[in-house]
């Protein structure tokens, strides 16, 4: 039977908008600026449950709560730098086995010694120490696993792990045509923003570390309420193969780093700190001898496309060219294209972007369409 449901409301007072008598009751409410949700019920006939929540803390934590009152019974885990990610529970008993979080790379906290031994064994059989381990599926008795070996400089390998016999058997490679080729590893770089805020970046070089500066492509992720991850990135590899280093940055407003980092991006589009973070990242790459200051491209899709347009209009001397893929040039018309039945989404975007509905001058200030006369570099 259905035991829980979740939804969005148009107000911030916790009212679900229904006056009807119902057996449902509100237990958790996350107002604007907070994150969280139900993970699963605990192994006590549903009296308690596992939830994630940022209420009263900076990043989302895994909590054990009373499912009747919503009272927090235990804070199981919280990381100061990154939100709680994947939660591994025992299939039948729902006992907690492991938690993941991702600041720059995926990291695990184990609550099950046997599971930790499995991962330690799998890591010992991995191609190298930089490999990340993933589990695609397990048999019902959990004695056979389909495991992924994930790297930044080649395709993903799938293997069968036989837990009883402690063996690993190759299954297939995600893209075997790539195996003969050499790819560039993705490096993690720590980038200081102009106000001191630390930013996580991912660098794919076109030459060996210590080589001369090369042309650089700033590859801006979409969303913007999303993030980049460490791993094999086909576009970054293509660019590196053609002689262009690629830098990806989790600028403020990116997800996964807690609510303050996320909401530092509020009302900071275009001429604000979100774009400044991108500018600061380029200047970091120039300062560190990674990038040729006269050969910088900004490239992205969706919000990344918008950032490209903003870069070329608001910092026209920084970039030699730009590539915009479906990036909006007028924020007001972007929001006007959202259908009525997505009203809560639109309202949330207004809070994050700024009130372009009632403030025409603000919309013109952050919309590249009204600043096209400033563009100096070629734009695709």
Q: For residue 19, what pLDDT is reported?
A: 47
Q: For residue 344, what pLDDT is reported?
A: 86
Would you call 309 exposed, middle or buried from its count of C-beta atoms within 10 A (0-12, 13-18, 19+)?
buried
Rounded-to-integer distance, Cα 76 and Cα 93, Å: 17
Rounded-to-integer distance, Cα 250 and Cα 220, Å: 9
Rounded-to-integer distance, Cα 319 and Cα 298, Å: 7
Ramachandran quadrant class, 213 (left: phi over 0; alpha: psi -120 to 50; beta: rest): beta
Ramachandran quadrant class, 105 (left: phi over 0; alpha: psi -120 to 50; beta: rest): beta
Q: Give the phi and the psi of residue 31 in degrees, each rounded to 5.
A: -70, 170
Sign of CA dihedral 7, 8, 10, 12: positive
Q: For residue 255, what pLDDT is reported?
A: 97
Rounded-to-integer distance, Cα 318 and Cα 180, Å: 37
Question: What contacts 103, CB < 8 A, 6 or more positions away?
Answer: 79, 81, 82, 200, 256, 257
Asked, as a colleague might, if the bond just before 224 is cis with ω within 30 of 0, I would say yes
| pLDDT by 10s per residue, the chain, length 380 | 555 666 665 555 545 555 455 677 778 888 989 999 999 999 888 899 999 999 999 999 999 999 989 999 999 999 999 999 999 999 889 999 999 999 999 999 999 999 999 999 999 999 999 999 999 999 999 999 999 999 999 999 999 999 999 999 999 999 999 999 999 999 999 999 999 999 999 999 998 888 999 999 999 999 999 999 999 999 999 999 999 999 999 999 999 999 999 999 999 999 999 999 999 999 999 999 999 999 999 999 999 999 999 999 999 999 999 999 999 999 999 999 999 998 888 999 999 999 999 999 999 999 999 999 999 999 99
Reduced to 3 states (helix: H, G, I; strand: E, B; else coil), residue 231 is coil
Q: CA angle 290-294-300, nearest 5°?
A: 75
* pTM for this entry: 0.92
């Amino acid at each position: 039977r259905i035991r829980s449901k979740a939804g969005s409301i148009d107000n911030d007072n916790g009212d679900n908008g229904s006056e009807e008598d119902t057996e449902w009751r509100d237990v958790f409410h996350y107002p604007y600026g907070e994150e969280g949700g139900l993970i699963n019920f605990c192994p006590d006939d549903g009296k308690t449950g596992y939830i994630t929540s940022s209420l009263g803390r900076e990043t989302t934590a895994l909590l054990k709560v009373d499912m009747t009152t919503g009272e927090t019974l235990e804070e199981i885990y919280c990381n100061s730098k990154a939100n709680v990610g994947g939660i591994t529970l025992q299939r039948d008993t729902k006992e907690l086995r492991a938690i993941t979080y991702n600041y720059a790379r995926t990291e695990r906290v184990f609550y099950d010694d046997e599971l930790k031994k499995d991962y330690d064994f799998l890591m010992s059989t991995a191609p190298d120490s930089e490999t990340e381990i993933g589990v695609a599926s397990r048999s019902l008795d959990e004695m056979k696993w389909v495991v992924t070996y994930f790297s930044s400089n080649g395709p993903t390998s799938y293997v069968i792990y036989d837990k009883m016999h402690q063996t690993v058997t190759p299954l297939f490679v995600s893209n075997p045509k790539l195996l003969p080729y050499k790819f560039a590893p993705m490096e993690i770089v720590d980038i200081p923003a102009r106000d001191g805020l630390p930013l996580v970046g991912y660098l794919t070089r076109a030459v060996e570390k210590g080589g001369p500066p090369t042309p650089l492509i700033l590859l801006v992720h979409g969303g913007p309420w999303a993030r980049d991850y460490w791993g094999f990135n086909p576009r970054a590899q293509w660019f590196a193969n053609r002689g262009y280093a690629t830098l990806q940055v989790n600028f403020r407003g990116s997800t996964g780093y807690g609510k303050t980092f996320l909401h530092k991006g509020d009302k900071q589009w275009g001429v604000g700190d979100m774009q400044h973070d991108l500018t600061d990242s380029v200047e970091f790459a120039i300062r560190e001898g990674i990038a040729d200051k006269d050969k910088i491209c900004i490239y992205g899709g969706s919000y990344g496309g918008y950032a490209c347009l903003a870069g070329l209009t608001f910092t026209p001397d920084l970039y030699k060219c730009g590539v915009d893929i479906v990036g909006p040039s007028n924020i007001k018309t972007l929001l006007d294209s959202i259908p009525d039945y997505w009203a809560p989404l639109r309202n949330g975007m207004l809070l994050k972007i700024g009130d372009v509905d009632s403030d025409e001058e603000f919309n013109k200030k952050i919309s590249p369409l009204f600043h096209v006369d400033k563009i100096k570099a070629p734009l695709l």
